[in-house]
């Protein structure tokens, strides 16, 4: 049983939760402080975690299910659970259904707006998995999908959406799209062969890396904007300086002629960035709250 659970966690890349979960918490914190001048309750945080786990598990399960044929052909992905025969299609379908139920239940327990926005979230979670088959903008659609985590955190505790929430949302959209473009550079030859779409396939690796930089410049502008749109202070600003250094280093170590450190740029750097931004935001808000 524990082995099977481990396979499911491996299938959904549970360790990649480090990208979105800190920003989901940050959305909840910012929303609560900006709208109500208080920190979110532990119950709200708990349901945010349940919603996040359900949404991400459903999305990754769907992606693995839909991509199982192409995954089997790609040497990099042939060892994934379904093409490797570690999980049956029926088992994955049940896993997806349970994950969507968790998302639905968490939204129901939070507030009416969470329930009203749920169909949009479900649509994006399902739609993204098909986008590589027809558009190179799939990276942006991934960003729009995964960035629902911080927006969902905001909605979960406030029951509203305002301009600050949307600035935060699109800041994370461009961050995710940027590092997904970098990640896609390693599969450009396979994607061309299979007729799959991506920015590296459409524009080439060199131009794709430039586009990724532009996305991350927009991310940087978004993070700075939040400093002036909220009551965040120098703790947050210090975190932003570290985040910008991380983004710069991420682009420094990946070049069109050398993708050997792509995994470091993709997982390590972005994982550290999300934790740094959340941690400094948390410190900032807690220090102000308990003055």
Specify the residue for token string 């710069």: 248
Q: Stretch 213-241: mean pLDDT, rounded?
A: 95
Mean pLDDT of 177-202: 93
d(CA 234, CA 189): 45
Residue where the block lists tokens 């499911």: 8
Nearest Cα to 8, choosing from 73, 88, 78, 71?
Answer: 88
Strand, coil or helix: 1: coil
CA gap 75, 115 in Å, rounded: 41
Query: What is the structure's pLDDT at 290?
Result: 67
Q: Give the mean pLDDT of the chain.
A: 90
Residues in the chain: 291
pLDDT of residue 32: 92
pLDDT tens digit string along 107-140? 999 999 999 999 999 999 889 889 999 999 999 9
Tell me the pLDDT tens digit for each residue of 5-57: 888 878 877 777 777 889 999 999 999 988 888 889 999 999 999 998 899 88
Average pLDDT over residues 168-180: 96
What structural domains and CATH numbers belong to the chain?
18-289 (1.10.357.140)
SS3 annotation, 216-247 = HHHHHHHHHHHHHHCCCCHHHHHHHHHHHHHH
pLDDT recorded at residue 259 = 85
């Amino acid at each position: 049983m524990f082995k099977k659970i481990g396979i499911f966690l491996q299938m959904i890349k549970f360790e990649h939760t480090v990208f979105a979960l800190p920003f989901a918490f940050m959305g909840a914190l910012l929303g609560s402080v900006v709208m109500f001048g208080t920190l979110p309750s532990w119950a709200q945080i708990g349901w945010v975690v349940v919603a996040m786990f359900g949404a991400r598990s459903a999305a990754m399960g769907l992606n693995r299910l839909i991509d199982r044929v192409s995954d089997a052909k790609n040497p990099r992905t042939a060892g994934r659970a379904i093409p490797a025969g570690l999980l049956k299609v029926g088992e994955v379908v049940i896993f997806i259904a349970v994950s969507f139920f968790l998302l639905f239940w968490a939204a129901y327990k939070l507030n009416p707006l969470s329930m009203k926005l749920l169909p949009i979230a479900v649509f994006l979670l399902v739609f993204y998995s098909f986008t590589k088959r027809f558009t190179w903008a799939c990276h942006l659609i991934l960003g729009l999908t995964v960035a629902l985590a911080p927006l969902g955190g905001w909605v979960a505790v406030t029951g509203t959406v305002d301009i600050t929430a949307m600035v935060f949302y699109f800041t994370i959209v461009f961050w995710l799209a940027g590092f997904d473009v970098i990640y896609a550079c390693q599969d450009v030859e396979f994607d061309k062969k299979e007729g799959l779409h991506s920015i590296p396939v459409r524009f080439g690796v060199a131009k794709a890396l430039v586009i990724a930089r532009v996305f991350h410049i927009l991310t940087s502008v978004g993070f700075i904007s939040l400093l002036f749109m909220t009551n965040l202070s120098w703790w947050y600003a210090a975190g932003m300086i570290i985040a910008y250094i991380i983004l710069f280093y991420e682009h420094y170590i990946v070049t069109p002629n050398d993708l050997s450190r792509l995994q470091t740029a993709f997982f390590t750097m972005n994982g550290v960035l999300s934790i740094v931004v959340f941690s400094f935001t948390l410190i900032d808000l807690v220090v102000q709250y308990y003055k």
